[in-house]
Amino acid sequence: MTVITIRPAPPSPVPDVVSSRQFKMQLEINELTASVEAWVSSQTKLVQIAYVESMTFNRNDAMLRSGFAAFGYSSSCVDTFFTAASKL
């Protein structure tokens, strides 16, 4: 007799990149759009350009990491944000 063991599928990896649309929609879902846009407007011109003009958002980008840190997001919160955004 053969014993077959069924294991649950491993969790999906956290995406490193989401589109600008996905990122900004997730900000809105999390009710962060106004706060993030106010924060962005107080940053350097390069940060402002990156926020407005980026086609994608990479969770490992230094500017993005500093933005999430400014809002108190832990690494696991960023993972949750990117995972949710990737499904939009």
| Residues 6 or more apart whose Cβ sits within 8 Å of residue 38 | none
Q: What is the 3-state secondary structure (H, E, C) of 9-72?
A: CCCCCCCCEEEHHHHHHHHHHCCCHHHHHHHHHCCCHHHHHHHHHCCEEECCCHHHHHHHHHCC
pLDDT tens figures, 49-65? 999 999 999 999 999 99
Q: What is the pLDDT of residue 1?
A: 75
pLDDT band at 36 (very low <50, low <70, confident <90, very high): very high
pTM over 0.75: yes
How far is residue 43's CA from residue 86's CA, in Å, rounded to a whole number? 26
Q: What is the pLDDT of residue 38?
A: 97
More confident residue, 12 or 31: 31
